[in-house]
Structure 1
Amino acid sequence: MVRDEERPLRADARRNRDKILAAAVRVFAEEGLNAHLERIAREAGVGTATLYRNFPTREALVEAAHRNEVAQLCDVVTELLAAKPPYEALRAWTRLFMDYATAKLGMADALRALAASGGDPYARSHDMIRDAIATLMDACAAAGAIRADISPADMFAALAGIALTSAKPEQRAQAERLLDLTLDGLKSAPA
């Protein structure tokens, strides 16, 4: 017998769930953990019953919103590599990482409260992000576009540092400069 949480969602239910998650990220980023769930439902264009059917608790919604943001960030790697040369795909992805970091910064209080209550919103996110970076860096290295002596863990640390110092929306120009500096440092030296 298939349990409810294992059944695939109907297309309309999937769309509603996605709209709720996107609205949750925006509203939690603006208002923090105490944001009204009714506002999230309203911004998603669904009723509160639909929100609670998908996410019975505030904590479940915070965790799902964060995991969804990480999944979207990591899933786009394949599309970027199909559409752009590897180095340009890596460059584009670092900008998406900063978008993610900005959203995460806005949700920081909600994520901290979830962790304090025993939840682990970061359970797989760091591994997923490192894997995404590794895929991009492997493609770049295979193309001879970047140095081979920098690990995905090093790159993740650099991106996390930039995010810690420059993730606020008003700091975006600084973040762009720091990303360019980091990426320039990755480039292979000319032969």
Structure 2
Amino acid sequence: MTAQVIHPLRSDASDNRERILAVARAAFAAEGLDVPIREIARRAQVGVATVYRRFPTKEALLAEAFAEQMAMCSGVVEEGLAAADPWRGFRLVIEKLMAVHALDRGFSRAFTSRLPAGADYFAADRDRTMRMLLELVRRAKGAGALRADFVLEDIILALMANEGIRAESLELRAAASRRFAALMIQSFQADPVRAPLPPAVRLPLTAR
């Protein structure tokens, strides 16, 4: 009888956790990191105390919600490093990183932000990704393809600008991001090849 009672409780706790994560991912992706825990609890139809039992801080919730995206970014950079042509690898990384960040405002903001020491659950994964990016930059410069004055912060700057794209739909936002990525890649190249850009996208003239 006791086992029968414990099993449903554990099942409910697991369901609550997954529902909280699903709601948090959707909220942070669409609205950024400022969505309060109380609002996430309301949308997940649980109490605020339930959220904090599963995730003791908002940073812990962010880390769990964005774990998949962080792993994806690391995988993208590893793929770039594995390319035989350093410039092709660098270009691939810029294109894919900007595509991931364009579709998730929350993750983009979390990736490019530094939280206080002890609260930055992304620090280890982000630092590993940045070290790989530095190696990719070194190789692209060594091949003479990347401009000599390029610095890692230029990638962060591009990601921050990319996060600011506003469009009427996710599809249009992704399309605008592809064009922006192409512009950035040409500006980073030592001897830019003026290849045709992806199609332009009509964007709102005022921020929402």
User: Normalized against structure 1, the TM-score is what?
Assistant: 0.57
CA contact (8 A) 2:77 2:129 kept: no
Instruction: State the match for 2:142 in structure 1.
Output: 142
Amino acid at match of 2:175: A
Q: How far apart, CA to CA, are the structure 2 residues paired with 1:126 and 1:73?
A: 9
Instruction: State the match for 1:183 in structure 2.
Output: 185
Alignment of structure 1 residues 16-27 onto 2, 5 Å: 23=22, 25-26=25-26
Amino acid at match of 1:173: A
Q: How far apart, CA to CA, are the structure 1 residues paired with 2:77 and 2:130?
A: 12
Structure 1 pair 130–37 and aligned structure 2 pair: CA distance change class (3 A)? farther
Q: How far apart, CA to CA, are the structure 1 residues paired with 2:41 and 2:75?
A: 30
Shift of 1:148: 1.6
Q: How far apart, CA to CA, are the structure 1 residues paired with 2:163 and 2:28?
A: 18
Deviation sequence 1:61-107 (CA, Å, 0-9, x none): 32322355234302431223224522222222223322332354156
Instruction: State the match for 1:156 in structure 2.
Output: 156
Shift of 1:180: 1.0
Shift of 1:145: 1.6
Structure 1 pair 164–127 and aligned structure 2 pair: CA distance change class (3 A)? farther
Amino acid at match of 2:134: A
Identity %: 26
CA contact (8 A) 1:29 1:106 kept: yes
Gaps of 5+ in 2: 1-13, 45-50, 193-208
Gaps of 5+ in 1: 1-15, 40-50
**In the comparison of the two structures, how many residue pairs are matched?**
159
Deviation sequence 1:120-142 (CA, Å, 0-9, x none): 45655764554343222122112
Q: How far apart, CA to CA, are the structure 1 residues paired with 2:79 and 2:85?
A: 11
Instruction: State the match for 2:198 in structure 1.
Output: none
Instruction: State the match for 2:86 in structure 1.
Output: 86
Q: How far apart, CA to CA, are the structure 1 residues paired with 2:155 and 2:105?
A: 20
Q: How far apart, CA to CA, are the structure 1 residues paired with 2:136 and 2:42?
A: 37
User: Normalized against structure 2, the TM-score is what?
Assistant: 0.54
Q: 1:172 aligns with which of 171, 174, 185?
A: 174
Of the two, which has the highest radius of gyration?
A: 2
Alignment of structure 1 residues 21-170 onto 2, 5 Å: 23=22, 25-26=25-26, 28-29=28-29, 34-35=39-40, 55-57=54-56, 59=58, 60-83=60-83, 85-106=85-106, 119-120=119-120, 123=123, 127-165=127-165, 169=170, 170=172
Deviation sequence 1:26-45 (CA, Å, 0-9, x none): 46535865346996xxxxxx
